[in-house]
């Protein structure tokens, strides 16, 4: 595969040799057919799994010629998966992931993060679905309490909480005191939490809600956190909010984290995770690749329909996906205890873990109605399927495919 070394500096760069005119003149080429990227990517993954050097060489070269991070959905998928496949083939995933993460952390700012998050929430309910469902469950579980303490173990940068503060401010009885403790594990989030805290405190004053804001810079060993470290007081009603957080905990540590959450004696625990399984197949590269491709194809198609083609926010979201794909497919030995993970699990898998310590809480009709009202603000394609008797939680679907799962639990 030595010929591939010349590709290393060209991966993820736009290709200029395939102009629109040449594409139209070669429309009979089967590679130009719809979904060409998934076919070549699958073949390449199988070749890597089978150590077929000649085929790997050919398919990576082909992908490098056709892919572009600035093209259509297939070109983007090919571009971002190509980088992961290249890293897998050359066993360079760990170094590539560290380099990409370091670059992002150096350039990270509150304003850039805020723009991306707010624009994504404006055009898609991918994240706001979980916010509305979780806020509704938290408000109902803490109804009548005067001292509220929310432990936020999430990746939402506190964008979930202004609507909850508004709801507390409009209560007919005495406004409760709210303490918000944010547990931060992501390095890039730590640098911006001070400004987020200042904005949250200012908004709470505007709403007239008595408010405290605390940040706990946790290690990735979340299972070792204690009530004392989190500042939990005996007279507080506790809610734990986990949005997109559990997938970042190492697979081996997840049961320990669930037990830690139970030890906090919360009134409610809310869990929101993306609906994908990168865990059960982690030792089978081809199966894991297939699930990764399925999930990110849905995600990229959603981004393509929700954002304008020239959106910088869309580009940043796609680059974040690229890092995640490399983490899942190309990083060797990177999912041990204490290391950040990208191993998503489906709702049914999380249920198996959570039911060892908690009982599921069914969402009230009011919360379900709030979620349905939220989805009406967005373009067609989003839906909330009727809950089945055996279901735990709610599923957000995009074109009838479940993409995000939200749930609430009590000890």
Domain boundaries, the chain: 36-107+284-329, 133-280+345-410
Range with lowest mean pLDDT among 87-101, 285-299, 397-411: 87-101
* Phi, psi of 17, deg, nearest 5: -80, -15
Cα gap 48→324, rounded to integer Å: 19
Q: What is the pLDDT of residue 293?
A: 96
Q: What is the pLDDT of residue 116?
A: 92
Q: What is the pLDDT of residue 386?
A: 80
Residue 150, H or E segment: strand 147-152
Closest C-alpha among 274, 296, 280, 281 to residue 38? 296
Q: What is the pLDDT of residue 23?
A: 37
> Tell me: the pLDDT tens digits for 228-251?
999 999 999 999 999 998 888 888
Q: Is the pTM of this model over 0.85?
A: yes
172 or 394, which is more confident?
Answer: 394
Binned at pLDDT 50, 70 and 90, residue 351 comes out as very high
Q: Is the pLDDT of residue 338 over 50?
A: no
DSSP 158-220: TTTHHHHHHHHHT-SSPPPEEEEEEEE--HHHHTTHHHHHHHHHHHHHHHT--EEEEEEE--S
Give, as one character, the DSSP assignment of residue 284. -
Q: Positive or negative, the Cα torsion across 66, 107, 204, 207?
A: negative
Q: What is the pLDDT of residue 88?
A: 95
C-alpha dihedral, 239 to 269 to 407 to 378, nearest 10° = 30
Q: Is the CATH number of domain 133-280+345-410 3.30.2350.10?
A: no
Across 46-66, average pLDDT: 95
Q: What is the pLDDT of residue 388?
A: 66
Q: Which residue is listed with tokens 């990110």?
A: 296
> Tell me: the pLDDT tens digits for 103-144?
877 777 778 888 899 999 999 999 999 999 999 999 999 999
Cα gap 184→219, rounded to integer Å: 8
User: Across 211-336, where does the E strand assignment appear?
Assistant: 211-217, 237-243, 268-274
b/e map 323-341, b = 16+ CB within 10 Å: bbbbbbbbbeebbeeebbb
Q: Is the pLDDT of residue 1 over 50?
A: no
> Tell me: the pLDDT tens digits for 188-208?
566 678 889 999 999 999 999
Cα gap 239→159, rounded to integer Å: 17
């Amino acid at each position: 595969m030595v010929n591939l070394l010349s590709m290393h500096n060209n991966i993820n760069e736009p290709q200029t040799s395939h102009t629109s005119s040449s594409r139209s003149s070669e429309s009979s080429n089967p590679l130009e057919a719809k979904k060409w990227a998934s076919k070549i990517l699958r073949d390449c993954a199988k070749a890597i799994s089978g150590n077929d050097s000649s085929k790997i060489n050919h398919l990576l070269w082909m992908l490098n010629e056709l892919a572009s991070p600035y093209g259509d959905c297939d070109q983007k998928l090919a571009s971002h998966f190509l980088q992961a496949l290249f890293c897998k083939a050359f066993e360079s995933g760990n170094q590539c992931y560290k380099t990409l993460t370091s670059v992002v952390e150096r350039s990270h700012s509150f304003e850039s993060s805020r723009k991306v998050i707010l624009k994504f929430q404006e055009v898609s309910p991918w994240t706001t679905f979980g916010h509305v469902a979780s806020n509704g469950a938290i408000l109902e579980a803490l109804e009548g309490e005067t001292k509220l303490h929310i432990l936020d173990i999430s990746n939402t940068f506190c964008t979930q909480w202004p609507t909850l503060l508004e709801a507390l401010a409009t209560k007919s009885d005495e406004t409760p005191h709210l303490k918000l403790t944010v547990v931060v594990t992501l390095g890039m989030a730590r640098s911006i939490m001070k400004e987020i805290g200042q904005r949250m405190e200012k908004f709470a004053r505007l709403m007239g809600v008595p408010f405290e804001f605390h940040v706990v810079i946790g290690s990735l060993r979340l299972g070792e956190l204690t009530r004392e470290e989190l500042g939990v007081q005996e007279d507080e009603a506790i809610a734990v909010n986990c949005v997109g957080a559990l997938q970042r905990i190492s697979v081996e540590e997840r049961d320990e984290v669930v037990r830690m959450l139970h030890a906090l004696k919360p009134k409610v625990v809310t869990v929101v995770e993306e609906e994908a399984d990168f865990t059960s197949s982690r030792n089978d590269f081809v199966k894991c690749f297939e699930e990764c491709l399925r999930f990110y194809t849905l995600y990229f198609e959603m981004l393509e329909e929700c954002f304008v083609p020239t959106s910088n926010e869309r580009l940043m979201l796609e680059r974040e996906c690229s890092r995640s794909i490399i983490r899942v497919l190309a990083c060797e030995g990177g999912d041990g205890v204490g290391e950040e993970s990208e191993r998503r699990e489906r709702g049914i898998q999380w249920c198996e873990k959570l039911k060892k310590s908690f009982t599921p809480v069914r969402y009230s009709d009011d919360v379900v109605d709030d979620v349905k009202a939220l989805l009406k603000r967005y373009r067609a394609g989003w839906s909330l399927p009727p809950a089945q008797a055996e279901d735990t939680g709610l599923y957000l679907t995009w074109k009838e495919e479940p993409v995000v799962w939200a749930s609430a639990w009590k000890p």
